[in-house]
Structure 1
Amino acid sequence: MAVSQRDQTLSLLAAANNHGDLAVKLSSLKQAKDILLAADLSLLSAELFPYLVELQSSHEPLVRKTLVETIEEISLKTMEYSPVLMPVLLTLLNDDDSVVARQTIVAGTHIFCKALDELALQFQRHGLVERWLEEIWSWMIKFKDTVFQIALEAKSVGPRLLAIKFMETCVLLFMPDNDSRGKITEVGRNAHMFNIIRVAGGHPVLDSVALQSEANRCFLVLLDLLSSSGGLPGSITISVVNSKQHVWQQCARLIRSDVCM
């Protein structure tokens, strides 16, 4: 069965990479995705994922966007087999096509939230963090840093709006005593939502103090963006102003308690 799935998926990925018709490319990639999501990736991922990664060089923006969606679905379903796919997200964050860049930020945000939750869950249940998850998290840190740069510097409004939204998500995730669990679940698509309190007692990968410091930094950046709103596009200003009220309340409490330095 695995051999048949492998051959079929190889044929579909070859069509997605090489066929001249866009409709055939997209249909082939979507069929390949369905097979991969249903298959035992422990038998197929090492052989097939490199062909999937090649699609990041496609000249068709819709193919690259569909690739990002495929990586997201695979990573959220079977994260342990997807470290080789993470560099694709980092590459496509700076895609020339705004739609592809926006989709990459959305997908990366979902995976970022899922990785955080899995890091906390693994250590809580087993007292360790597996190497594949550490590798994914190292890519997620690079993703975070790149998205922060997009929030500050991007000329394209669409990706910048989503980058600012990602910064808001980091504030919500990394603030202590977070009462916004349901709100963030919509962003992260997680059954178990990360809360900084879960790693406050110590964690081999996640430093709760450093994460809270990151939240403070994000909040101050949002304040700086708001103070300089006169030089920003209107939609950017609206995005900052409309950041969820509980974010500002959480950060205000930290400022009053001298946590924000």
Structure 2
Amino acid sequence: MAAPSRDQALSLFAAANNHGDVNVKLSSLTQAKDLLLSLDPSLSADLFPFFLELQSSPESLVRKLLIQLIEEIGFKAADHSPALVSILLTFLRDADPIVVKQSIVSGTNIFCNVFMEMIVQFQQYGKVERWLEGIWMWMLKFKDAVFGIALEPGSVGIKLLALKFLEIFVLLFTPDNSGPERSTGEGSTQAANISWLVGGHPLLDPVALKSEANRTIGILLNLLQPGANLPGCLTITVVNWINKRL
């Protein structure tokens, strides 16, 4: 049964890459993802390169869906997750704003999930698996890139999402003594922050992480300086968020 599924996945990837109808491309990509996750990992490993080829698709809707699927796949493809996550960095510089926005949204969710998974692994086993450390290294590069987007001229809509990432970044790395969960203000829940950290790990150093959070708050404050020329709606966003932190 495995071989036909694998062959079907290859056929769907080919359709997602080459079909002339964008709706067929989107449907094929979704079906291919479902098959990819249903196969035994040992059989699906050589299919991921076909998945990665879609990052060069000329259709922005296909690239956007690819980002959403990368987020959905998450840790189910642990050995390939670093390569999948690296695509997010490429799409942060995409020519289409909808692709950039989706990359920031999905990247933010992955960043939070990776951080939580690292905490859980360290709490349970006293270590973090190497593949997860690899993803975290990519997520730190993602963080630096999004910080750059927040600080440079560009689309207001994209910058709003970048500023939201900065807000969540600070929440993750600021001790919270009120409990293990807190609202992020948009109906979602931030499931962990450095208050959960017990013991020491090179990548999970509470002192260093808190310092990063404080540095980020400084960046946000600098955005409010007269010479920053921040658009009005972004200024209101930053002021409201900083007021919540005081």
**Residue 229 of structure 2 is aligned to residue 231 of structure 1:** yes
Q: How does 1:116-195 map to 2 (within 5 A)?
A: 116-177=115-176, 179=178, 181-184=181-184, 193-195=191-193
Q: 1:239 to 1:22 in 2, by over 3 A?
A: same
* Moved >6 Å (runs of 4+): 185-190
Partners in 2 of 1:13 and 1:153 — Cα distance? Answer: 37
Q: 1:244 to 1:224 in 2, by over 3 A?
A: closer
Q: Give secondary structure in 2 for the equivalent of 1:8.
A: helix
How far the C-alpha of 1:119 sits from its partner, in A, is: 0.6
How far the C-alpha of 1:81 sits from its partner, in A, is: 4.3
Q: 1:136 to 1:218 in 2, by over 3 A?
A: same
How far the C-alpha of 1:204 sits from its partner, in A, is: 3.7
Which residue of the partner structure matches residue 209 of structure 2? 211
| TM-score, normalised via structure 1 length | 0.86
How far the C-alpha of 1:77 sits from its partner, in A, is: 5.0
How far the C-alpha of 1:168 sits from its partner, in A, is: 0.4
Partners in 1 of 2:116 and 2:185 — Cα distance? Answer: 11
Partner of residue 198 from structure 1, selected from 196, 199, 207: 196
Query: How many residues align structurally?
Result: 245
Tell whether the 8 Å contact from 2:172 to 2:194 is kept in structure 1 after alignment.
yes
How far the C-alpha of 1:172 sits from its partner, in A, is: 0.5
How far the C-alpha of 1:221 sits from its partner, in A, is: 1.0
Moved more, 162-171 or 235-244: 235-244
Partners in 1 of 2:19 and 2:146 — Cα distance? Answer: 33
**Residue 26 of structure 2 is aligned to residue 7 of structure 1:** no
Partners in 2 of 1:217 and 1:48 — Cα distance? Answer: 41
Partners in 2 of 1:9 and 1:112 — Cα distance? Answer: 29
Q: CA RMSD in A?
A: 2.3
| TM-score, normalised via structure 2 length | 0.91
Aligned identity (percent) is 57
Tell whether the 8 Å contact from 2:48 to 2:80 is kept in structure 1 after alignment.
no
Moved more, 19-28 or 98-107: 19-28
Which residue of the partner structure matches residue 258 of structure 1? none
Partners in 2 of 1:143 and 1:226 — Cα distance? Answer: 24
Opposite residue 102 of structure 1, the aligned amino acid is K
Tell whether the 8 Å contact from 2:13 to 2:32 is kept in structure 1 after alignment.
yes
Q: Give secondary structure in 1 for the equivalent of 2:224.
A: helix
Residues 221-241 of structure 1: CA deviation (Å, up to 9, x unaligned): 111112348722222122212
Q: 1:70 to 1:185 in 2, by over 3 A?
A: farther
Which residue of the partner structure matches residue 22 of structure 1? 22
**Residue 32 of structure 2 is aligned to residue 32 of structure 1:** yes
